Amino acid sequence: MFGSLSKGNLDIWKRKEDGEGVSTVRSAYNKLQGTLEEGVNEVFETLWKTRVTPKAQLLGWRMLLDKLPTKAKLIAKGILLQLSLCEFCLECEETVEHLFFSCKVAQKVWNMCYKWLGLNIVSHVKATINFQHFFLLNLNKRQNIVWHGMWLAIIGEIWKHMNRVIFKQSKVDPTEIFALAQVMAWVWMKHKIPSVKFSYSDWCLSPYTCLKTL
């Protein structure tokens, strides 16, 4: 916001980002999301439609906007750390793109997900593009929105696993990350979508078939 002070006139406050100085829900929403690239609004529209918990959506939103407190972010804010290296590989600086996508541990998790589907895909390291590419051609739009819950589950489990490694000295285990993401995605579907009738075993054996029933 900015103030307008001029002699003989009433003092007023206006929003810089609104041409007319009018505050709206849409302007506030756009401001919170930051300056987005063309087409990225679709990413957030899909994100808010996913059938997951608000906490999972919020984590995904923060990650997509690069707002998570990674080591690179903390150092940029002047918070001193002993090491800026990724806790998983101890080879590269811990940024959002590295931690969730380009780290060899994260890549193993994503590869397990695609192998689960019988696919061989090289995932993009840019978060918004990775999210956009996480769709299945044989599913309709509604089913793919549900499928994006698996993307959020993987993001959430990578983040939680990293914190366990730091604070509880847990062993780095990409298989555990993926297995917990499978569980979380199924739990969300089971509790958020009344039409879900398939079991966790069905989900693990044939995710395509399960998603097709929705």
Which residues, at least 6 apart from 107, have a Cβ–Cβ distance to it below 8 Å? 101, 123
3-state secondary structure of 195: coil
Contact 202, 210 (CB under 8 A): yes
pTM over 0.75: yes
Question: Hunting for tokens 């993307």 — which residue is that?
Answer: 151
pLDDT in tens, 200-214: 999 999 999 999 999
Give the number of other Cβ atoms within 10 Å of residue 105's Cβ.
19
Which phi and psi (to 5°) does residue 39 adopt? 90, -15
| Residue 45: CA count within 13 A, CB half-sphere | 8
What are the tens digits of pLDDT across the range 132-182? 999 999 999 999 999 999 999 999 999 999 999 999 999 999 999 999 999
How far apart CA 73 and CA 37 sit, in angstroms, is 21
Contact 103, 88 (CB under 8 A): yes
